Chains A and B, each alone.
Chain A
Amino acid sequence: MTPTGYFLDHLWMIPLFPLATAALMLFFGKRLPNSAVSVLCVGSVGLSFIYSAGAVIQLLAAAPQNRVAQQILFEWLTPGPMRVGTEHAAHVVRFVADWGFLLDPLSCVMVLVVTGVGFLIHVYSIGYMGHEGGYYRFFGYMNLFMFAMLTLVLANNMLLMFVGWEGVGLCSYLLIGFYFLKKSASDAGKKAFIVNRIGDAGFILGILLTAVTLGTVRFTSQGLPDAAGASGILQALKSGVDAHALSYGAPVLTAIALLLFVGAMGKSAQIPLYVWLPDAMEGPTPVSALIHAATMVTAGVYMVARMNAIYQLAPFAMDVVAIVGATTAIFAASMALVQNDIKKVLAYSTISQLGYMFLALGVGAFAAGIFHLMTHAFFKALLFLGAGSVIHAMSGEQDIRKMGGLWDKIPNTAKTFAVATLAIAGIFPFAGFFSKDEILGRAFDRFFLLWIVGFITAGLTAFYMFRLLFLTFFGYCRAEEHVEKHIHESPRAMTVPLMILAGFSIVGGWIGWPEAFGGENRFEKFLDPILKGVLPETGEVNIAHHAVLKELLLMGASLGIAVAGIILAYQLYCAKRIAPELVAKKFPRLYQLLLHKYYVDEIYDAAVVDRTKDLGTLLGRFDANVIDGVGVDGAGWLARFGSTLSMWWDKWIIDGLLNFGAKMIQLFSYPVRLLQTGMFSSYAMLILVGLVVLLAYYGHHVQVMLRGVR
């Protein structure tokens, strides 16, 4: 029995609401008052959330294996026959990409996170952006982003997903460069866009390779009226495996998986394409919260999870994902240790947490990755919004060295920020604890070294987050006097979303209450139907038969290192038992390396950016000298030479012949011209003379004539 209902039939309306208001803002927003902009833009996201929640509730009414609703609005790319398959099993299929929406447990999670967290951030933005210019432009871009993101998560095929993927990239660019008069902001926007292009190239190659290998880009045919006749990646993989055309570890599947992962690396800021995310903090803080923490950057994780059937058949690609994820996690966490900009710390923390998610995906714990995606969306959005509230209170100051002692001055922000910090540090029973331990547990089962990396990263995370918390909210205030006087709590539009997110940061993890604590991990069971994969033996391994004791020990260990990190941060930055400057002096090389972010930006500049610029200069010189010099100027010289020749010919030969004829006529007509005096009497004289001559000549004829008459 396929699930039905009003909201499921109107899935297409979910992205439509923000699109409509985005269009309204971008065309007419200038003439609307700020209050109307707020009501329209926040309202449309709220409506999207209501429709999403309704659709999810109606989907949950169905049995777990039937929880797929698919709706095709129209065939977008007109179908054509295509030859697919390997050389022994080639066959012709009808390729089609439709404009269709898919709601299954995976997109349920995403759509609720995107619209729910998105709605709260929109509400927050009313307060945060209230004093800024371009209010309507900000909300127009934000709503356009919501449309693109919802298209991305609800798409029923890879091509439509790519449309959303590019749409969020565009909105990210527009919003990072929101203060486009600031050079660093517009540069950061460009950097984000260009780095993402590299990833997108991989993604689109992955899509094309999928299309030629499997003959379809639709994720699944389940939920369609003619499910048996329609094609889907899942079904094509299944039949390919059954026909032995594709097998576990087939090179083509590994290639697809790696290419798609390149796309995910770009969007989700993994090594080596993470460099744009710290710079993206130039955008307004709600943008950092919505796009660069909670939703867009997790699109790569979502995409890999969505394509899990392919990844499960490509073990090498899985290992690559896990290793890249783990490396990114510890690498970014180490950079976050010494950053002094409140938003930069959070940016590196986001990269690090995304690394965790990819680590989860890479070890086959897709559900754990998505679980962490969700909890991370809650607490990281909260951290960014809290940071925004702090910046708001500090009159735009972002340097944590100039903060401190804010706990009593902005209590609501401080308390919610502390909740989020506890959540990201993985303290029981906050949300981050459950998702992080799920990942670490699965990594431990898979490969010990990966667990070690994740384990150390957990300690680093707790340390740098509490460093941030202590420096910002505790101790004495190091702000300048006029700033300190001005410190005030943010308006309710900002603090209420903080409190709601804080609530989710506490309880959000409880839906994945692990079995070791007597729960049943409902979150994982919910996602199970779509994460099974094609081969039963490679799918998600049921952890029910794992030793409970081992699991408890692992949890204890990660909790222990988190607490150790917190205590260390307390000693350094709150109790001041050890001066951080002394530690920095003791390891000057290491400190400089971390402070300069491993010089990665400089290396990229030297290795790629400057070389590209050199190539441009070289090509410019080639253009100026060879193309312009020999080509354009040469052609110009030839044309001028030809026209000189032609002019000479025209002047002397063509005109010359004509003038020669005219001169001849002039010459011979000279005697005749002498006769024409213009004097009447001379003409009369000529007539007379003529008459006399005629008579003299013909006179005898007249005589003869007269004689005859007589």
Chain B
Amino acid sequence: MLPIENYLFLSLALFIIGVIGVVTRRNVIVVLMSIELILNAVNINLVAFSRLYGDVGGQVFALFIIADAAAEAAVALGIIIAFFRNRETVLEDEMDLLKW
């Protein structure tokens, strides 16, 4: 059995990739994909610790996060499509409606 640190490093790497994607990319779809990476980093974390402590609760929680990620992706893609229809763009620096 691999030591826990391997999993944690994998998880950390995924998380950092995801964060960099969220912060730096202009395309909203790529940002969405980066968020999925962050969520999965968390999932790996949860499953690894669940295995380490022999507690199944972490795995159950990971399943919930997968379901949540699916729902979130559906909603977010719907918003993006609607937005694209109105503004014909998916680039986030052109989405300046949040400022009054």
Contact = CB atoms under 8 A, between A and B. Distances in A.
B96 A678 contact: yes
A683 B93 contact: no
Interface in B21-36: 22-26, 28, 31
Contacts of B26: 681
Contact of B99 (A678, A684, A685): A678
Interface in B77-100: 92-93, 95-100
Contact of B23 (A676, A677, A678, A685): A685
A680 interface: yes
B98 A681 contact: no
A681 B97 contact: no
A266 to B, nearest CB: 88
Nearest to B99: A678
A688 interface: yes
Nearest to A709: B53
Interface string B42-67: 00000000000000000000000000
Contact of A678 (B19, B31, B98): B98
A676 B23 CA distance: 16
Interface residues of B, number: 16
Contacts of A676: 98-100
A662 interface: no
Of the candidates B22, B26, B28, B31, the one having the most CB atoms from chain A within 10 angstroms of its own CB is B22
A684 B96 contact: no
Contacts of B31: 680, 684
A688 B98 contact: no
A704 interface: no
A688 B23 contact: yes
B22 A677 contact: no
Contacts of B22: 681, 684, 688
Contact of B19 (A677, A680, A688): A688
B68 to A, nearest CB: 19
A664 interface: no
Contacts, number: 32
A679 B93 contact: yes
Grouping DSSP codes into helix (H, G, I), strand (E, B) and loop, the A interface class, with mixed when no group exceeds half, is helix
Nearest to B92: A680
Of the candidates B23, B26, B92, B97, the one having the most CB atoms from chain A within 10 angstroms of its own CB is B23
Interface in A668-686: 676-681, 683-685
Contacts of A679: 92-93, 96
A688 B16 CA distance: 11
A688 B19 CA distance: 8
A681 B24 contact: yes
Of the candidates A679, A683, A684, the one having the most CB atoms from chain B within 10 angstroms of its own CB is A684
B92 A677 contact: no
Contacts of B100: 676
A681 B19 contact: no
Contact of A677 (B24, B25, B97, B99): B99
A567 B78 CA distance: 131
Contacts of A678: 96-99
Nearest to B98: A678
Nearest to B49: A709
A7 to B, nearest CB: 99
Interface in A651-696: 676-681, 683-685, 688
B98 A680 contact: yes
Given A688-B19, A688-B23, A681 B99 contact: no
Nearest to A689: B23
Contacts of A684: 22-23, 31
A681 B96 CA distance: 11
Nearest to B28: A680
Contacts of A681: 22-26, 92-93
B15 to A, nearest CB: 11
Contacts of A685: 23
A683 B93 CA distance: 11
Contacts of B97: 678
Interface of A: 676-681, 683-685, 688
30 contacts: A676-B98, A676-B100, A677-B99, A678-B96, A678-B97, A678-B98, A678-B99, A679-B92, A679-B93, A679-B96, A680-B28, A680-B31, A680-B92, A680-B93, A680-B95, A680-B98, A681-B22, A681-B23, A681-B24, A681-B25, A681-B26, A681-B92, A681-B93, A683-B98, A684-B23, A684-B31, A685-B23, A688-B19, A688-B22, A688-B23
The 7 closest A-B pairs by CB, nearest first: A678-B99, A680-B92, A678-B96, A678-B98, A684-B22, A685-B23, A684-B23
Given A676-B100, A688-B23, 8 more contacts: A676-B99, A677-B99, A678-B98, A679-B93, A680-B92, A681-B25, A685-B23, A688-B19
Interface of B: 19, 22-26, 28, 31, 92-93, 95-100
